[in-house]
Amino acid sequence: MRIRRGEFERIRSVLEEADAEEPMTAREILDVLEEHGEEFDSAHRVATVLGRHAQSGEVEVIRDQPYRYRFDDGNN
């Protein structure tokens, strides 16, 4: 599955704008995105995008039930 250009930046930008400080589930992130007029296919898509960026260290995946995501810069 190929990550469409800009998806990660859109997620990060909206979460920064929303002042999301705590780690969030993909479903919670999807809800925030939708509240800000950003469309994503599903929470699974959000998790896929963030999971790919976790490999480079840009996102921390908290492997709990359910998984939660936090950006490495401390803003989210």
Which residues touch 48 (CB under 8 Å, ≥6 apart)? 1, 3
Domains (range + CATH), the chain: 7-71 (1.10.10.10)
pTM, full prediction = 0.85
pLDDT in the model for residue 71: 86
Count of CB atoms within 10 A of residue 59's CB?
20
Please compute, for residue 75, the number of CA atoms within 13 A of its CA located in the half-sphere on the CB side.
Answer: 11
pLDDT in the model for residue 21: 84
pLDDT in tens, 23-71: 999 999 999 999 999 999 999 999 999 999 998 899 999 998 999 999 8
Flag whether pLDDT at 2 surpasses 60. Answer: no
pLDDT in the model for residue 76: 42
